[in-house]
């Protein structure tokens, strides 16, 4: 199972969230955590008076910006997550996508985006070695190109690539809300077509739109279900179901029982 944490939720994660991760492991799941760190990156860029901009939702990454991205993602954010996990007795190892050629990547368009890449290959054997050893890999969303240079990777896309490579049963997107809401009522199960209708109707709006679009983009021929969950509370019920909103690429019931 792959869990993706965006930078905006990392500092809000609660002990109950980590206890739910432990429940997943107790139920026999191997768990891989992939994270971003946008707010922390922006804070350091601002403190250093380094200008950056977004192009089509992606941070344009110059060499100067990339140095900050590496420092923040693989330093502060990654190690803080590892320490939070270990405080909850979850053995974990922090990695960047550059370590051991974990996330091999190629630049998308240097002229438009700078040093931003997309994943071309995932080192499954490295992840499986850690999982077999009882460790939870915690991956910062950086990749390495064929020349050995670092690239900034969108964390949603990195998590989707890892899930696909590992043939994960489930990909969980961690947010600051319980899931997709319709007038404060949680939508437990939905499909891509229904998601698009909800966006057109204005029920899904604002910051939830990129979250659900990222979830939809992760669906593939091998990954048939993604889940949007809260990082501020437990996301596993007493009955072993995952709380939140399940999105499936067919009409099957999306409730996942552990």
Q: Is 59 annotated as a binding residue?
A: yes
In which region does residue 148 sit, left (phi positive, over 0), alpha (psi from -120 to 50) or beta (all else)?
A: left
Do 15 and 118 fall into the same domain? no
Boundary (domain end) residue, out of 168, 189, 204: 168
Q: What is the pLDDT of residues 126-155, one digit of tens each?
A: 999 999 999 999 999 999 999 999 999 999
40 and 97 share one domain:
yes
Is 2 a member of any domain? no
CA-CA distance, 22 to 26, in Å (whole number)? 6
In Å, how far from its chain's centre is CA 211?
A: 10
In this structure, the number of other CB atoms found within 10 A of the CB of residue 125 comes to 9
Last residue of a domain, one of 168, 194, 228: 168
Q: Is residue 1 part of a domain?
A: no
Q: Please tell me whether residues 108 and 179 are part of one structural domain.
A: no
Do 179 and 152 share a domain, yes or no?
Answer: no
Cβ-contact 187, 215 below 8 angstroms: no
The CATH number that applies at residue 251 is: 3.40.1160.10
Expressed as residue numbers, the domain containing 23 is 8-29+173-258
Query: Are 140 and 186 contained in the same domain?
Result: no
pLDDT of 184 > 80? The answer is: yes
Q: Is 36 labelled as part of a ligand binding site?
A: no
Residue bearing tokens 């368009």: 109
Would residue 3 count as lying in a domain? no
Tell whether 49 and 101 lie within a shared domain. Answer: yes
| DSSP classification of residue 238 | T
Place of tokens 């110059």: 62
CA atoms of 236 and 21, how far apart (whole Å):
9
Q: Is 117 annotated as a binding residue?
A: no
Is residue 47 located within the same domain as residue 146? yes
Same domain, 242 and 218: yes
Q: Which among 119, 10, 107, 7 is positioned nearest to 61, based on CA atoms?
A: 107
Q: Residue 256: which pLDDT band, with cuts at 50, 70 and 90? A: very low
The reply to whether 183 sits in an annotated binding site is no
CA dist 207 and 258 (Å) reads 29
- The alpha carbon of 153 is separated from its chain's Cα centroid by a whole number of angstroms, namely 11
Contacts of 220 (CB under 8 A, 6+ apart): 160, 164
Residue 109 Cα distances to 32, 143, 232, angstroms: 29, 15, 36
DSSP 135: -
Global confidence as pTM: 0.89
Picking from 122, 148, 168, the residue at the C-terminal end of a domain is 168
Number of domains in the chain: 2
How confident is the model over 58-96, as pLDDT tens digits? 788 999 999 999 999 999 999 999 999 999 899 999 999
């Amino acid at each position: 199972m792959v869990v993706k944490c965006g930078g905006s939720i990392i500092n809000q994660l609660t002990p109950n969230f980590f206890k739910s991760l432990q429940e997943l492991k107790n139920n026999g799941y191997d768990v891989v955590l992939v994270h971003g760190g946008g707010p922390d990156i922006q804070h350091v860029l601002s403190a250093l008076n380094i200008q950056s901009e977004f192009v089509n939702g992606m941070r344009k990454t110059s060499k100067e910006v990339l140095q900050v991205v590496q420092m923040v993602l693989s330093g502060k954010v990654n190690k803080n997550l590892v320490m939070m996990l270990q405080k909850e007795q979850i053995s974990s190892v922090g990695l960047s996508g550059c370590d051991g050629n974990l996330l091999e990547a190629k630049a998308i368009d240097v002229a438009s985006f700078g040093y931003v890449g997309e994943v071309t290959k995932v080192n499954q054997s490295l992840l499986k070695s850690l999982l077999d050893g009882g460790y939870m890999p915690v991956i910062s969303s950086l990749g390495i190109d064929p020349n050995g240079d670092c690239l900034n990777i969108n964390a949603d896309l990195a998590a989707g690539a890892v899930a696909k490579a590992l043939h994960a049963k489930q990909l969980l997107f961690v947010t600051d809300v319980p899931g997709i809401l319709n007038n404060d009522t949680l939508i437990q199960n939905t499909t891509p077509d229904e998601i698009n209708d909800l966006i057109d109707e204005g029920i899904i709006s604002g910051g939830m739109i990129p979250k659900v679009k990222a979830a939809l983009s992760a669906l593939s021929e091998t990954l048939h279900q993604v889940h949007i969950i809260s990082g501020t509370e437990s996301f596993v019920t007493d009955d072993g179901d995952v709380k939140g909103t399940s999105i499936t690429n067919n009409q099957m019931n999306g409730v996942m029982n552990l």
